[in-house]
Structure 1
């Protein structure tokens, strides 16, 4: 009944742990699936949004050219000539390879009627036009063009300048919006720029518009930059997302192929507005990035899972230890009760017979007295063993050492047990040592338990024990070798546990499981150790090692 109860408790505990493991395993799978899908969605969203980073880095040289290098023309204040314009063009070609050629227009503003140009209210005209192209050796080649070579670009800039002079606020410098709308003219693959006049010059130009200062003459410089978008260096700052980045016309639309390829695009601004950056990646390319980002998340989830499994294992181990402890205590109470019950019953029977009305012969009286004495000794021995075990565990006793003669010491126990068990074959050998300084009572307890166990756990006809004492490496080694039933290999680590009993036919009549545990504690208390070697059905060898002291 009790065994079945133990099994039921164990099954319930195991079921609880199994349910816990199943629950966290399902949670792990769900968490991994959610994390993988979240990572996949996040990477795809980045594929659609990170293209702006690539565009920004790719256009960095162009933006620097547009915002910083082109406005340098204003610093010449309209006094550029063909030579200085060539030097400026050379620096631009060196720093910005996407500029394929530059045109320089020398513009005159005056009130002379012979220089009037249709549509120019204040006589804005082109005096000369030069074109500059880069050479492979880093130089620049220039040539003069007809005055009407830039007529369209010049006309647009002239109209903007005329309008700006009319509306300009000469009390301040022009803001960026006014600069971009008046002095820049941005067309596909082409940028024209007119140097910004000073405030006094704007006032003078306004007077010219009104017909004043007839003899005035002013110079302006206009440069037109021809750009080649395909010479811009692509800077793919996110190769983990974009397998291929290319420049395509804005109208480019490839034939769709159902291969799962991811694509996106972003248009260039300004002079490159006819073109776009075109991005594409094969499915396995994005899958690699998804897996790369997913692995740390999966690792963290697995660590949490392992942590929970360890907690579950610790809970299970605790329950298992508690169950074993409960079983040991249960068996101890049963066995201890049985050990007490037998002598108590015998004592009761003998006492009843002594108290009986019938007269007892001298022989019967002595017999019952012997029985009472033997059973009382058994009870006393059991109580002393428990008390001694507790004292040794708590280190509440002291060693009382004295010198002993080992041969006499062993012979005494052999004589005692030969009388007690006539069918017990006992022999010994003492080699290399004769005297030993130790506690004879504690050592005697080890001998008594070892000899009792050797007799108890041997089959009839094989009850033999050989005791060998030797001196090895400043230690006394005492070996107890029997030909008993042996100990299973998987039980060798358990036999020295308090209250632990191996289930076999020799333990059916009661055993509290203290003998070997008591011997182990005694050996440790005496600064030694107790080891065992055993084979089932062949016998066991218990080896006690104690430090030698003179």
Structure 2
């Protein structure tokens, strides 16, 4: 069997190599996927800050694009009371606005003493200051702001716009932003946008100083505090801490292992930035969290491949065992046929030879031919019966069996066949049994043959015990033979399986006990064995007891 062993080793080596390959692939896949996950988290740390910036500055953008332009809807007719109400809504919705200045402006002649020195047509009638104190809006008329830089810049922008404005079309968004907005760090000034007919009137007023008329304009300056912006950290898994810092903020004592990034604020908050900080442990935790499902999938694939490897190995192992059993069966069965055929061939040659044979020789050769023919017939019957059992092509013919006569008949036959075979039996509390005597006889014959065959010379003993047990009848066959190892006891009932020992080198094809098991199963019973090496074996057959 050297060929099969080499083949087995070869297949085992291939499976081992495959397991090593997928194990190495698992390690490589885990390392690569972890590094890619770490790189992905690092890239997100650098890119997701834009989302945090957008969410944090969203109130400011709403204030700039939606709330401030509401001033235009008053068409210059804001007064101190309505300006206070408007400021109240601003403070309530936008906490980063700390103060509002309202300029009650007028355009016309003659100019008041508050008019700009270079343009006497634009002046300030009154200035009010609004701020939130104890959750209430306080208004204060404060003329100290009259000559402020904010008013002069906005008045100059308005004057220039009026002088060059094309009243045949609406101003563009760019014109509006350049003229009616003034955005500086921590401050936004806004002037209400006049209608086209108002712009035509303003042109006339500023060109012709003799016209005695006045038109109202409103201007508001919003003083902002960037630190009152509410930071909305939409990615706490990436950013452990997000703060608002001055643009020039750049600490030199950053602790080792911390990762930082920043995003500049825009508009009136251009002097500030969002400062993002995370520790290495925080990011490592996020990497591990994201890597966990990936690692689980990799491990699942690995275990799936290992399972496939194990199934392949098991199938190869089973196939090789079956091949070995069939190979042994063919060898042994061929030998079993070859021996009787050779003996028959020799006896036949002697019978047909030219030499005359005595009556004693003729009877001797006849006996040999008869015995060898019986051996061949027994082998063929056993194979045929086995096939019929597997195909369920025979039926159980139940008859009343007198157990005493049945057992004694087989014992007497074996004592004649094997004079050195010590056979004893015991029948407890039962005398009759309904079953197929032929099938039951085959079980007895095979188990008794085995007991004799696998016993040491001088210790060929068998004790048969029969007893009822609940609704069953139990047949025990106990010998003092060579026994068998525990690991072989589950295989002895398999087809073609033979225990390798000196008693089993020839004359067995591994069908006897398999045939018994098939018979017992066919009769709705069970068969088992307990054995110890060099102490003996006990085969127990349990059949249903039916009356």
Q: TM-score, normalised by structure 1?
A: 0.94
Cα distance in 2, alignment partners of residues 313 and 78 from structure 1: 87
Match of 1:88 among 67, 86, 89: 86
Match of 2:73 among 66, 75, 91: 75
Contact residue 422 and residue 461 of structure 2 kept, 8 A: yes
Counterpart in 2 of 1:62?
60
- 1:357/1:242 CA distance change after superposition, 3 Å: same
- CA-to-aligned-CA distance 1:214-252 (integer Å, 9 cap, x gap): 233221221211111112111111111112211111011
Contact residue 530 and residue 538 of structure 2 kept, 8 A: yes
Cα distance in 2, alignment partners of residues 482 and 358 from structure 1: 49
Counterpart in 2 of 1:429?
426
Cα distance in 1, alignment partners of residues 434 and 500 from structure 2: 38
How many residues align? The count is 547
Counterpart in 2 of 1:15?
13
Q: Which moved more, 1:426-435 or 1:393-402?
A: 426-435
- CA-to-aligned-CA distance 1:297-346 (integer Å, 9 cap, x gap): 22222222222222222222222222212211211111112212222233
Cα distance in 1, alignment partners of residues 156 and 430 from structure 2: 125
Cα distance in 1, alignment partners of residues 194 and 140 from structure 2: 27
Cα distance in 2, alignment partners of residues 525 and 207 from structure 1: 122
Cα distance in 2, alignment partners of residues 481 and 168 from structure 1: 123
Match of 1:454 among 441, 451, 455: 451
Counterpart in 2 of 1:480?
477
Match of 1:152 among 149, 154, 167: 149
- 1:538/1:207 CA distance change after superposition, 3 Å: farther
- CA-to-aligned-CA distance 1:178-227 (integer Å, 9 cap, x gap): 33222221111111112222332223222223328823322122121111
Match of 2:297 among 295, 300, 308: 300
Query: Which SS does the other structure have where 1:496 is aligned?
Result: coil
Q: TM-score, normalised by structure 2?
A: 0.94
Contact residue 116 and residue 123 of structure 1 kept, 8 A: no
Give the deviation of 1:115 after TM superposition.
Answer: 5.6
Counterpart in 2 of 1:5?
3
- 1:120/1:208 CA distance change after superposition, 3 Å: farther
Query: Which SS does the other structure have where 1:498 is aligned?
Result: coil
Counterpart in 1 of 2:44?
46
Pairing of 1:339-378 with structure 2 (within 5 A) = 339-378=336-375
Counterpart in 2 of 1:162?
159
Query: Which SS does the other structure have where 2:263 is aligned?
Result: strand
Give the deviation of 1:135 after TM superposition.
Answer: 2.2
CA RMSD of aligned residues (A): 2.2
Give the deviation of 1:266 after TM superposition.
Answer: 0.8
Q: Which moved more, 1:157-166 or 1:103-112?
A: 157-166
- Asked if 1:318 is matched to 2:307, the reply is no
Query: Which SS does the other structure have where 1:59 is aligned?
Result: helix
Contact residue 486 and residue 534 of structure 1 kept, 8 A: yes
Contact residue 403 and residue 436 of structure 1 kept, 8 A: yes
Cα distance in 2, alignment partners of residues 154 and 127 from structure 1: 12
Counterpart in 1 of 2:30?
32
- 1:171/1:416 CA distance change after superposition, 3 Å: farther
Q: Which moved more, 1:243-252 or 1:141-150?
A: 141-150
Match of 1:277 among 274, 284, 289: 274
Cα distance in 2, alignment partners of residues 126 and 91 from structure 1: 24
- Asked if 1:438 is matched to 2:435, the reply is yes
- 1:111/1:318 CA distance change after superposition, 3 Å: same
Counterpart in 1 of 2:332?
335
Cα distance in 1, alignment partners of residues 210 and 402 from structure 2: 141
Contact residue 131 and residue 145 of structure 1 kept, 8 A: yes
Contact residue 207 and residue 213 of structure 1 kept, 8 A: no
Query: Which SS does the other structure have where 2:371 is aligned?
Result: helix
Give the deviation of 1:154 after TM superposition.
Answer: 0.9
- CA-to-aligned-CA distance 1:483-539 (integer Å, 9 cap, x gap): 222221212222121111111121112310111111111112222222222222332
Query: Which SS does the other structure have where 2:243 is aligned?
Result: strand
Cα distance in 1, alignment partners of residues 349 and 267 from structure 2: 122
- Asked if 1:111 is matched to 2:120, the reply is no
Query: Which SS does the other structure have where 1:219 is aligned?
Result: strand
- 1:388/1:130 CA distance change after superposition, 3 Å: same
Cα distance in 2, alignment partners of residues 501 and 117 from structure 1: 122
Counterpart in 1 of 2:465?
468
- 1:265/1:150 CA distance change after superposition, 3 Å: farther
Cα distance in 2, alignment partners of residues 54 and 485 from structure 1: 84
- 1:200/1:433 CA distance change after superposition, 3 Å: farther
- Asked if 1:383 is matched to 2:362, the reply is no
Cα distance in 1, alignment partners of residues 138 and 424 from structure 2: 119
Structure 1 residue runs without a partner (length 5+): none
Give the deviation of 1:414 after TM superposition.
Answer: 1.7
- 1:135/1:369 CA distance change after superposition, 3 Å: same
Query: Which SS does the other structure have where 1:71 is aligned?
Result: helix
Cα distance in 2, alignment partners of residues 292 and 365 from structure 1: 94
Cα distance in 1, alignment partners of residues 136 and 5 from structure 2: 96
Structure 2 residue runs without a partner (length 5+): none
